[in-house]
Amino acid sequence: MDIGSVFLILAVVIPVVIYLYRPFTERNTQSASKTEQDYSSLLANRDQVVAMLQELDDDYNLGKIPDDIYPTRRQVLLQNGVEILRQLDAYQLIPSQATAQDRLEAAIETRRQTADSSQSFPRKNGSAVPPVPDDDLEQKIASRRRLRQSKAGGFCPKCGKPVQEVDRFCPRCGATLN
């Protein structure tokens, strides 16, 4: 082996070894805090209780569980679920989470307000906010949309699809229209 091939092998092997060894040297792993783990555990327990309730109801409806055992088991599961929901509600009242939720709601509201003022979306009462054309392209798009909202001007002689008066070609089959 000559010296060039040795350097080539080293040029490939050294970066690969460094890349593979890097995760072992880093200590920046972010572990979940105790409260996040508890909250996640409560969510899992809630889902488990709901699944157990559904399974209990299904088994009772199929006749697998006697009438005298069903109410007591269901009541125990409901009490467990209520306790878990109370604990989850206690976590919901943590100020950092409440402020984060408030910030998210505020961001959504501002986004809706800017969207309502800049785009033409129909509202619940039937009125629409007119779009504000920013440039020439937006004006062309708006005029095309107004033309597309016109009524049908007939049918395609080839495929029978309704076409508009401004169409030159059938949008379905491509046939030339008169």
Q: In this predicted structure, what is the pLDDT of residue 123?
A: 46
Query: How far is the C-alpha of 76 from the C-alpha of 73, rounded, in Å?
Result: 5
**Mean pLDDT, the chain, integer:** 80
pLDDT in tens, 120-155: 544 445 555 455 546 777 888 888 777 767 667 788
Q: Which residue has the higher pLDDT, 106 or 123?
A: 106
| Contact assessment for residue 110 and residue 104, using Cβ atoms and an 8 Å cutoff | no
Q: In this predicted structure, what is the pLDDT of residue 173?
A: 93
Q: Which residue has the higher pLDDT, 38 or 95?
A: 38
- How is the chain split into domains, by residue range? 34-114, 136-178
Global confidence as pTM? 0.39
Written as six digits, the tokens of 100 are 């984060």
| Contact assessment for residue 152 and residue 159, using Cβ atoms and an 8 Å cutoff | no
| Contact assessment for residue 150 and residue 166, using Cβ atoms and an 8 Å cutoff | yes
pLDDT in tens, 75-98: 999 999 899 888 888 877 655 555
Lowest mean per-residue pLDDT among 10-24, 42-56, 63-77, 136-150: 136-150
Block residue for tokens 């996640």 = 40
Residues 105-111: what's their mean pLDDT?
Answer: 72
Q: In this predicted structure, what is the pLDDT of residue 109?
A: 75
| Contact assessment for residue 121 and residue 128, using Cβ atoms and an 8 Å cutoff | yes
